[in-house]
Amino acid sequence: MKIATTLLTLAGVCLAHFDIDSPAPRDGTEDLTELIPPCGGLPLGNRTVITPVDGIFHITGALEHPTAQANFSLYVGNDDPSQVQFATYFDGGYNTTLHLGDFDFKANVADIPAVVDGVNAVIQVAMFTPDGHLTACSDITFSFSASTAETSTSEAVASTSGNPYAAPSNVYSGAGAVATGIFAVAASLIFV
C-alpha cells in the first residue's frame, strides 16, 4: 500500500495539466488524454456556437503547471482533423508563454476567409511543458447572427505559420510525459 501511495503521489507531481473552460472542450478531456495528440485522442463532440464580435472570440482556461509554451490553432471544416491540419495559428497564439493560473486568449478570425456564418471548426490548444506535449480541443460552429458573444482582455490577429509538431526550443520534450505514463500504468496495475 505504501508503494501505491508513493506512485500516485509521484504521478500527480509529474502530470502536467491544463483546462479549457471556453469554448467547452471535448467530452472526456482529462489529465491523461492530454498526452495524446491531436485533441487528447478524443473524437469530435458537441459543437459550441461561437459569436465573434468584430471577428474576436475568446479561449479561456487554466494552466496548472508553473509555465508552458502554448499554441492556439484552428482547423476549419466538418472532419475530425489530424495533427498536421492544425496549421492556422492565431497571431500571438504561436509559442505563447503562459504561467500558472487562468489564461484568456483573444482570437481574431476576421482575416480568415474560411470563417463564415455557420461554418464548423476545431480549436486546438497545445501546451509544451517540462512534462511533455499536451493537447485539448474545442469543437465549434461560428455564428455571426447570434445575439450573445463572449468577452475578454487578451489580443490576437489571425495568421498562418509554424510547425504544429515542433516544440519550442526552450521547453523540455518528452521525459516528463514518459514518467507520467510509467507512473500511471504502474498505479493502474496496483489497483486492478
Q: Which CATH superfamily is domain 17-172 in?
A: Immunoglobulins (2.60.40.10)
- Which residue is it, cell 476545431? 122
Sequence-distant (≥ 6) Cβ neighbours of residue 192 within 8 angstroms: none
How far is Cα 178 from Cα 130, in angstroms, rounded to an integer? 11
What are the backbone angles phi and psi of residue 59, rounded to the nearest 5°? -115, 115
One-letter amino acid at 129 equals T
Q: What angle do CA 65, 166, 36 make, to 5 degrees?
A: 60
Residue 31 is predicted with a pLDDT of: 66
Cell, residue 94: 504561436
The one-digit pLDDT tens for each residue of the chain (192 residues) are: 444 333 333 444 445 488 999 999 998 877 667 888 999 899 999 999 999 999 999 999 999 989 999 999 999 999 999 999 999 999 889 999 999 999 999 999 999 999 999 999 999 999 998 878 899 999 999 999 854 444 332 333 333 344 444 444 333 333 333 333 333 333 333 333
Are the C-beta atoms of residues 98 and 63 closer than 8 Å to each other? yes
Q: Tell me how far apart the alpha carbons of residues 60 and 21 are, in angstroms, rounded to a whole number.
A: 5
First to last CA, the chain: 13
Q: Where are the domains of the chain?
A: 17-172
Largest CA distance in the chain: 58
Instruction: Identify the three-state secondary structure at position 34.
Output: helix
Measured between alpha carbons, how far is residue 106 from residues 17, 90, 173 in Å?
A: 21, 9, 27
